Amino acid sequence: MNRNELCWCGSGKKYKHCHLAMDERINEMKFDFFKGQVRPPHRIINNEEDIAGIKKASVVNDGALDLVSGIIREGIDTLTLDDAIGDYLEKNGGVSADRGYEGYPRNVCISINDVVCHGIPSRDTILKSGDIVNVDITTRVGKYYADASRMFMIGDVPLNAARLVKVTKECMELGIAAAKPWHFLGDIGAACAAHAHKNGYSVVTDLGGHGVGKDFHMEPYVPHNAKAGTGMLLVPGMVITVEPMINEGTYKVTTDEKDGWTVRTKDHKLSAQWENTILITETGTEVLSS
Ligand code: MF3
Ligand code: CO
Ligand code: CO
């Protein structure tokens, strides 16, 4: 691209005043094929307008998670939560990205105890004391998506379950802290997994994080068990999720054959997950969800 043409990012600025310097820096780098190091494609680099849009979606998504923290309790069924979230999103200019996604039937995913992710809200699923519950919401506002999940503890939760929830949150936070511009994607998974393993837990590898923003699931796939220095180069403007699924027992998971969605631990031991949408900035990262 010519220096005086409009930048490929859609900012409306001339290339020389926009992403030329970044492209030059990338072009000077040596990518190690054996470490799977690759350059990020332009389509996953967001401009300021994109970032503002993703932030708007994040605010609504966070609001829906805040709403959940106010109403989730022992004895509530998960479809009531799903309905309340749907109403909240609609009132706030958002729409569930889950509903209809590859035929998914509800607004959100609610995953309890041995359910790793993609639990389908149901009138028959009633929260009980001792449950650990992940509520995962993805909101679209206009063209832009934000994706986040939190864990909730119902009533009296056994110590081992509470510890899993706490350590999993730390895994996410350490993963986010390891995400830095001009470093590599594998640094995130290396940090998540080191903390999980140190605590005697395993890391789910069949599912992971993803680019998000201009679409629900974009490149890159974000592994939560990886080697530092491997995978895609991280550069300012990339937006990804960090969403480690951490298990008490085996890392192996199975998908429910009847509903085609519900992912459970193979040994039926507990699993926890936290998820944030993050932006790679010039200096580090900004958590767009909370
Ligand atoms: N929100 C999930 C994620 O973190 C994806 C849910 S897809 C659905 O990527 F179809 F199950 F809703
Ligand atoms: Co999610
Ligand atoms: Co996600």
User: Residue with the nearest Cα to atom 11 of ligand 1?
Assistant: 118
* CA pair distance 187, 208, nearest whole angstrom: 14
Find out whether the beta carbon of 221 lies less than 6 Å from any atom of ligand 1. Answer: no
- H-assigned helices in the chain: 20-28, 48-71, 78-91, 159-178, 186-198
Please give the structure tokens belonging to residue 75: 């004895």
What's the gap in Å between 217 CA and the centre of ligand 1?
9
The model's confidence at residue 260, banded by pLDDT at 50, 70 and 90, is very high
Please give the structure tokens belonging to residue 175: 């993963």
The number of the ligand 1 atom at minimal distance from the alpha carbon of 212 is 9
Residue with token string 């992940």: 134
Find out whether the beta carbon of 31 lies less than 6 Å from any atom of ligand 1. Answer: no
Render pLDDT for 83-95 as a digit per residue (tens, 0 to 9): 999 999 999 999 9
* CA pair distance 106, 83, nearest whole angstrom: 9
Find out whether the beta carbon of 101 lies less than 6 Å from any atom of ligand 1. Answer: yes
Find out whether the beta carbon of 82 lies less than 6 Å from any atom of ligand 1. Answer: no
Check whether 228 has a pLDDT greater than 90: yes
Neighbouring C-alpha atoms within 13 Å toward the C-beta of 276: 21
Find out whether the beta carbon of 109 lies less than 6 Å from any atom of ligand 1. Answer: yes
Can you tell me the mean pLDDT for 124-143?
98
What's the gap in Å between 136 CA and the centre of ligand 2?
5
For 38, the 3-state DSSP assignment is strand
Say which residues have a Cβ less than 8 Å from residue 33's Cβ, sequence separation at least 6. none
Report pLDDT for 290: 79
Neighbouring C-alpha atoms within 13 Å toward the C-beta of 226: 28
What's the gap in Å between 265 CA and the centre of ligand 1?
17
Report pLDDT for 287: 98
**What single DSSP character describes residue 274?**
-
User: Residue with the nearest Cα to atom 2 of ligand 1?
Assistant: 136
What's the gap in Å between 68 CA and the centre of ligand 2?
15
Render pLDDT for 181-213 as a digit per residue (tens, 0 to 9): 999 999 999 999 999 999 999 999 999 999 999
